[in-house]
Amino acid sequence: MSKTQTVAMMPGAEVILKVMEAEGVDVIFGYPGGAVLPIYDALFKNNSIRHILVRHEQAAVHAAEGYARSTGKVGVVLVTSGPGATNAVTGLTDALMDSVPIVCLTGQVPSHLIGTDAFQEADTSGITRPCTKYNYLVKKSDRLQANIEEAFHVARSGRPGPVVLDLPKDVQMLDAPFIEHKSAEPLAQRYKPVTSPQKAVIKEAVKMMKQAKKPVIYGGGGLINSGPRASDALHKLVNQTGWPTTLTLMGLGALPADDSHFLGMLGMHGTYQANLAMHNCDFMLNLGARFDDRVTGRLSEFAPFSKKIHADIDPSSINKVVNVDLGVIGDVGETIDALLAEMEVQSFSPNAKAMTRWWEQIEGWRSRDCLAFEQAGPIIKPQKSIQRLYEMTKDRDVYVTTEVGQHQMWAAQYFGFHKPNRWMTSGGLGTMGYGLPAAVGVQIAHPEATVIDISGEASFLMNMQELSTIAQYNLPVKIFILNNEWMGMVRQWQELVHGKRYSESYSSSLPDFVKLADTFGMKGLRASAADDLDDVIAEMLATDGPVIADIRVEKEENCFPMIPSGAAHHEMILGPEDETNKSISEEGKVLV
Amino acid sequence: MLDTTQIERHTLSVLVDNEPGVLARVVGLFSGRGYNIESLTVSEVDATRQLSRISVVTSGTPMVIEQIKQLLDKLVPTHSVQDLTVGPAHVERELALIKIVCIGDKRVESLRVADSFRARTLDSSLNSFVFEVTGNSSKITAFIELMNSLGDIEVARTGVCGMTRGNNIDLVG
Ligand SMILES: Cc1ncc(C[n+]2csc(CCOP(=O)(O)OP(=O)(O)O)c2C)c(N)n1
Ligand SMILES: [Mg+2]
C-alpha cells in the first residue's frame, strides 16, 4: 500500500459499513439479533446503505439473490448468530448451486465464548463451509477490512457464489483499522480466476466449428452471469453462424425468445426440437452451461454423435460429467468475442448446404408444436394463464421470479424472455419458497418495473411471511399463483412413476388467498374460469400496489413435454397420449 | 478423451495459505463427493509467509482425479496443485513408528529385520522396541507385516509426502 493512505481507527461495525460503501453496496437484506446489534446500531446512523427488513433469514438470502440476478451486482445479507445463520443456509446453498454472488454477514458470539455452547452460538463457518464459495471467521480486527474486501472479490469474480463472513460481536465493537483506498488500482488478490481464454484454444475451437454440419449452440447461466455483453455477443454469434440455439433454464433471456434460431429451452421439460437437435447434432458449442442432469438425461446416450466444446469460467466444470473434445476456460462473454474475432481471421462461413438440410430437419421437429395445448371449456389451463400473462405484459419492463414445480416449468416454456437478468428461478437447488422473497429483491432493485412471482399454492406457503415485507415497503409485487390444489410436480411424478398413489401431495387447508391479501392490505383477485383470466390479469397489472392473484387452474394437468428420468433426449414423452407407450425404467426410478 | 474405467492412485502436493478452515475445506471437498483419501499429511512449511503444504494420496478414475485437482485449485487459499504422479519424476517418502512386543528368538529376529530395513531403534525395554522406519509406502507396509508376524505391534504412520526431482521449485505464484 502506498504512503498516501491514512489509517483511521473506528469500531469494527463502522469499518464493515465503510468497506461495503466502497464496494458499492446500496442495500442490505437482513434481520437483527443480539450478535449483530453493533452493526444495526451503525446502520441506524448510516445514510447511504438501505436496510430491508425481511421476515425470515432464508428470505433475506433469496431477496439478495433476486437483487443480484436482476442487477449483476453482489447481493448483501445481514443476519444474527445461531438461528439467524442456520436459517440462511438454504438460501446460501441455492446461491451456490446457481452461482449467484452473495456476501452474507453473520453475527457470532464474542471470540472468548466461541466453543462454549454459548447462547445462540452455532459453528457457522463449519455449517456453511460446504454451501459457500468461501467463508471467513473474522477473529482479528486488523484483518476485518481485508477479509470483507476479499469476500466481495471472491463472491463476484470467476464463477460467482455466496461468501459468508462470520463476525464475532467483539470484533464488531472493538476499534479496527480502516484504510481509505485513494488509488484507483485494484487490490492485489490471491484469488485470480482465469477470465481470458487462451488464443491457441480459440484457434482450435474455430477450426472445429468449421467442420460442423449439424451444429447446436447450448447456452447456460454463465451467459447471464457474464453480464449483458455476453448476450449481445451470443446474438452476434448466432446471426453470423445461423446456428440453432437452445438455452438452459438458467440461460433464458440470453437470446430473445422470438429469435428464429432459438429452439426453446432444452432438458427434462424442454422442447422437442431443442432436445432432438441436441441428440442428433454433430457439433455442440456449450457456452456457460454445466451439463446438468436435468439437461443431459441418460448420460450414456447424451448427444452421442457430436464433437463437443465446453466454454466455462470454472475449470472444474469441464469434464465433470460429460467428456468434451475441447475445454475453453474463461469468461463466456470474452470467449464469444474471441471466437467472433478468430472466425474472421479464419474466414469462417457456415456450411450452407449442410445448414439448409439441418434446419429442414429441425423445422420438422419444430412443426410437431410440442407446446401446443387446448383451452376448451371453462377450466383455466395453466399453460394458458402463463401465455396470457406473457402476452399482456409484453410492452412492460417485466421481471419474473418463480417458485418450484409445474408452474415454474410452464413459466419457462410459455413466458418469453427477451433480455438477460429478467428471469429469476431456483434451478440447481429447486427451492420452493424462492420466488416471493426473490421478487422482493428484484422490486427493490427496480422500483418502477413490473415484478411478477409466478407461484404455486404450495410453494407460496413456504415463504408467505414475506407478504409482510412487501406490505411494509409497499412493493408492487404481483403474486400470480397457479393454484391447482396439488404439489403438482410431485403429483405428476406419483402419477407417472408411482402408480397414481398420491401420497401426501394434496394441498389441503389452503388459505383464502383473496382474504389473505386483504389482511396485509393488498389487493386480492381470483380467476375461477377461463373467461375471468384476462380481466384478472388486466386488473392485477393496473393496480399500483402489491396483488395476490389466485388463478384456479386445471388440477391434474401434467407438464409436458417430458424426458422421463433416466431416459435420453430422443425418448421424450410429448403429451398424455404418448405417456402410456413409454414407461420409466427401474434405473430411472432411482433418479430424482 | 479420458478413460473412465480405470482406478489410479495419485499423490498430490498442494501449497496453501495456513489459515483456519483450510484443511476442513480440503477434507470436505473429498468427503462431500465420496472421493478417497488414502493418506494426508499437512504442516506449515514457510512460517513468514504462513504457507502449508498438504500432501494427499487419493485414488479414482482419471476423470475423478482431474476433478479433484481442479476443485483443489479452485479453493481461495490454494496457491498451487502438483500432481506428482503424472508430473516429472518425483520422490515419495513416508515415516512410520512401530512398537513391537516380543521376547526370546523373536526379539532377536525383530532387531535383525529392523536392521535390514535400516530402521532406527528409538526405544527399547526388556520385551519391546520402538522402531522408526522411512521409505516408500510399500517398504513400510512390508516392514510392518514382518513385525506383525513376530509379535504384538502398534503402528503410527505419517502418510506420504513427496516432491519432484530436479531443480524445479514450487513457489507462491
Ligand atoms: C423446499 C422444497 N421442498 C420440497 C420440494 C419438492 N417439490 C418439488 S415441486 C413440489 C410441489 C410444488 O407445488 P406447488 O408449489 O403447488 O407447484 P405446482 O407443481 O403445483 O405448480 C415439491 C414438494 C422442493 N422442491 N423444495
Ligand atoms: Mg400446486
The ipTM (two decimal places) reads 0.92
For residue A10, indicate whether it is catalytic.
no
- Indicate the pairing of strand A162-168 with strand A102-108: parallel
Q: Is beta strand B51-60 parallel, antiparallel or unpaired with respect to B8-17?
A: antiparallel
- Residue whose C-alpha is closest to residue A246's, from A571, A569, A591: A569
**Active-site option among A120, A240, A375, A465:** A120
For ligand 1, the distance from its centroid to the CA atom of residue A432, given in whole angstroms, is 6
Determine whether A383 is an active site residue: no
Percent of chain A with pLDDT over 90: 94
pLDDT at A185 over 60: no
Is the pLDDT at A314 greater than 60, yes or no? yes
Distance of alpha carbon A367 from alpha carbon A353, whole angstroms? 21
d(CA A399, CA A421): 8
Q: Is the dihedral of CA B1, B5, B9, B15 positive or negative?
A: positive
When pLDDT is cut at 50, 70 and 90, the band that residue A3 belongs to is: low
Q: Does B67 touch chain A if contact means CB atoms closer than 8 Å?
A: yes
C-beta atoms of B76 and A191 within 8 A: yes
DSSP annotation string for A566-591: T--GGG-B-SHHHHTT-PPPHHHHH-
**Of A119, A198, A207, A587, catalytic:** A119
pLDDT at B1: 44
pLDDT for A490 beyond 90 = yes
Nearest Cα neighbor of A328 from A96, B80, A338 is A338
Three-class SS state of A198: coil
Confidence check: pLDDT of B173 > 60: no
Q: How many Cα atoms are found within 13 Å in the side-chain-facing hemisphere of A556?
A: 6
Asked if A126's CB is within 8 angstroms of B4's CB, the reply is no
DSSP string, A267-318: STT--HHHHHHHHH-SEEEEES----HHHH-SGGGSSTT-EEEEEES-GGGT
Cell of B114: 529392523
- Mean per-residue pLDDT, A168-178: 98
Residue at A341: amino acid letter? A
Least CA distance to A139: which residue of chain B? Answer: B20
Cβ contact B63–A323 (<8 Å): yes
The three-class DSSP label of residue A225 is helix
Cα separation, A591 vs A566, in Å, equals: 7
pLDDT digit string, tens, across residues A400-459? 999 999 999 999 999 999 999 999 999 999 999 999 999 999 999 999 999 999 999 999
Tally A–B CB contacts below 8 A. 45
B-proximal residues of A, 162-191, CB under 8 Å = 190-191
Identify the CA nearest to A60 among candidates A83, A33, A91: A91
Distance CA B92, CA B90 (A): 7
Chain A closest CA to B41's CA: distance in Å?
21
For chain B, report the end-to-end CA distance as a whole number of angstroms: 30
- Cα angle A321, A75, B21 (rounded to 5 degrees) comes to 60
pLDDT for A580: 56
Q: How many CB atoms lie within 10 A of CB A233?
A: 23
Percentage helix, strand, coil, to 5, in chain B?
25, 40, 30
Res A181: pLDDT = 78
Could you give the CA distance from residue A399 to residue A61 in angstroms, rounded to a whole number? 18
Rounded distance from Cα A465 to ligand 1 centre (Å): 18
Say yes or no to pLDDT of A227 above 80. Answer: yes
* Residue A120 known to be catalytic: yes
Phi-psi region of A297 (alpha: psi -120 to 50; beta: other; left: phi over 0): left
Q: Please state, in angstroms and rounded to a whole number, the distance separating the CA atoms of residues A356 and A360.
A: 6
Read off the pLDDT band of B88 (50, 70, 90): confident
**A143 vs B: CB within 8 A:** no
Q: Which chain B residue shows the shortest CA-CA distance from A317?
A: B67
pLDDT of residue B4: 54
How many C-beta neighbours within 10 Å does residue A383 have?
23
Chain-wide mean pLDDT for chain A?
Answer: 96
Q: Quickly state the pLDDT bin for A5 (edges 50, 70, 90).
A: confident
> Pick the residue with more confidence: A72 or B20?
A72
The answer to whether the bond into A382 is cis (omega within 30° of 0) is no
Q: Angle formed by the axes of helices B62-74 and B22-31, to 10°?
A: 150
Amino acid B87: pLDDT:
83
Q: Which amino acid is at A252?
A: L
Mean pLDDT along residues A380-403: 98
A320-340 mean pLDDT: 97
Express each pLDDT in A86-140 by its tens digit: 999 999 999 999 999 999 999 999 999 999 999 999 999 999 999 999 999 999 9
pLDDT of residue A182: 58
Which residue ranges have their beta carbon within 6 Å of ligand 1? Answer: A 403-407, 430-432, 456-459, 482, 484, 486-490, 507
CA distance A584 to B94: 51
Residues 6+ apart with CB under 8 A from A359: A244
The one-letter amino acid at A86: T
3-state SS, one letter per residue, for A394-413: CCCCEEEEECCCHHHHHHHH
pLDDT of residue A280: 97
Q: What backbone torsions phi and psi does residue A43 show, to the nearest 5 degrees? A: -65, -35
Residue A248 has pLDDT above 80, yes or no: yes
| Closest CB from A125, A158, A323 relative to B2 | A323
Q: Which three cell numbers stand for residue A504?
A: 401426501
Residue A556 alpha carbon to ligand 2 centre in Å: 10
Helix (H) or strand (E) segment spanning residue A11: strand A7-11
pTM summary value: 0.96
A489 is catalytic: yes
* Residue A187, pLDDT above cutoff 70: no
> What is the spatial distance between Cα A78 and Cα A75, in angstroms, rounded to a whole number?
10
Give the model confidence (pLDDT) of B4-23 as tens digits: 579 999 999 999 999 999 99
Q: What pLDDT band is residue A1 in, cutting at 50, 70 and 90?
A: very low
Cβ contact, residue pair A137, B2, below 8 Å: no
Atom of ligand 1 nearest to the CA of A455: 15
Q: Which residues of A474-492 are buried (b: 16+ CB within 10 A; e: fewer)?
A: ebbbbbbbbbbbbbbbbbb
> What is the number of other CB atoms lying within 10 angstroms of the CB of residue A173?
17
Instruction: Taking residues A215-233, report their average pLDDT.
Output: 98
CB B89, CB B165: distance < 8 Å? yes
Q: How far is B162 from chain A (nearest CA, A)?
A: 24
The alpha carbon of residue B33 is apart from the nearest alpha carbon of chain A, in Å, by: 11
- Report which ligand 1 atom has the smallest distance to the Cα of A382: 21
Task: Suggest the residue from A316, A320, A325, A329 to mutate for an interface test with chain B (most B CBs closer than 10 A).
Answer: A316
Contact assignment for B76 to A323 by CB distance below 8 Å: no
